[in-house]
């Protein structure tokens, strides 16, 4: 379980459905375990936060920096048609921001990916390939503040 001095604990559903890629200054960078789409999730390591507006102003700015860095890396690595970014929280209330690279030929295009098809979990080789492709584009310690 990922925990911090802020009393944060990753929701069990997110923990079950993802793999930790990085811990940036604010967020856990998680890989969604669905090989149909290049799909990562940012989860701010703050306790009891459900909405972006509940974060401090500084944390909101850091979330935007981290979201932009993740989105840029995903699109560079996978050259999608579109990057979908969303903080829905209808199933898991803990604030988490999805970053899904979409392609005109993907299984759910042009509709949303949620609930369209059952997840197709990565096998070990597929997960390793994804990580090897994305990791060099992700700042190890997160995006620098400007």
24-73 residue pLDDT tens: 999 999 999 999 999 999 999 999 999 999 999 999 999 999 999 999 99
Give the pLDDT band (50/70/90) at residue 5. low
| 50, 93 Cβ separation under 8 angstroms | yes
Residue 114's CB is within 10 A of a number of other CB atoms, namely 14
Q: What are the φ/ψ torsions at residue 78 (nearest 5 degrees)? A: -120, -5
State the pLDDT at residue 75: 98
Alpha-carbon distance of 36 to 120, in angstroms, equals 6
CA distances from 5 to 47, 56, 111 (A): 10, 16, 39
Reduced to 3 states (helix: H, G, I; strand: E, B; else coil), residue 65 is helix
Query: Looking at the predicted structure, is the pLDDT value of residue 100 above 70?
Result: yes
Query: Looking at the predicted structure, is the pLDDT value of residue 89 above 80?
Result: yes
């Amino acid at each position: 379980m990922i925990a911090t001095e802020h009393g944060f604990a990753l929701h069990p559903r997110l923990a079950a459905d993802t793999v930790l890629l990085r811990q940036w200054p604010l967020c856990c960078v998680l890989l969604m375990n669905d090989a149909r789409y290049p799909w990562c999730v940012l989860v701010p390591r703050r306790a009891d936060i459900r909405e972006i507006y509940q974060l401090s102003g500084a944390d909101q700015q850091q979330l935007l920096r981290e979201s932009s860095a993740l989105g840029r890396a995903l699109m560079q690595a996978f050259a999608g048609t579109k990057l979908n970014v969303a903080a829905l929280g209808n199933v898991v209330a803990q604030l988490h921001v999805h970053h899904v690279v979409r392609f005109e030929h993907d299984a759910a295009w042009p509709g949303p990916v949620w609930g369209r098809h059952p997840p197709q979990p990565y096998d070990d080789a597929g997960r390793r390939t994804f990580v090897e492709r994305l990791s060099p584009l992700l700042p190890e310690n997160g995006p620098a503040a400007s």
